Amino acid sequence: MLPEKKGDDFMPKRHRADAVDAYAPDGSEIRNLVGRTQGATRLSLAEALVPPGQHTGKVYHQTVYEEVWYIVRGSGIMHVQAPDASDEEVFDIAPGDAVLILPRHGFWVQNTGADDLVVLCCGSPPWPGDDEA
């Protein structure tokens, strides 16, 4: 069932854009797939891209309660730090892996492969803007 129409901007379907929509606070290229503009009120979905040999900056969410990263293409190393931990948890990521990022956890990723690292990022609530991280 589709959500109720919320004005003329509501679009139940959106095709991935070739052009980058934005750059995330961590530096990754972002293509927004589903968010507030499409009528989402409880989650958002975006594609993030980190080129070979690059890494994102470490960020902490302010209001996003949970975010799931699903690795579509490429390989890398994920760094996650719990709010009360002195060290980061570090692990390899590859296509088919899913990573849960909890509130107030710091995180960043390195692309260690020869291909673009492409990640689907689903967050709740929808991404509120650049001040989030």
From 107, 64, 58, 62, select the one nearest 82 (Cα to Cα).
107
Whether 33 contacts 16, CB under 8 Å: yes
Which pLDDT does position 61 carry in this prediction? 78
pTM over 0.95, yes/no? no
Cα–Cα dist 118/46, whole Å: 10
- Kindly state the average pLDDT of the residues 28-35: 85
CATH T-level topology, domain 22-128: Jelly Rolls (2.60.120)
Whether 48 contacts 119, CB under 8 Å: yes
**Domain ranges within the chain, ordered by starting residue:** 22-128
Which pLDDT does position 133 carry in this prediction? 58
- Kindly state the average pLDDT of the residues 36-61: 89
Which pLDDT does position 48 carry in this prediction? 94
Q: What is the pLDDT of residues 86-128, one digit of tens each?
A: 999 999 999 999 999 998 999 999 999 999 999 999 988 776 6
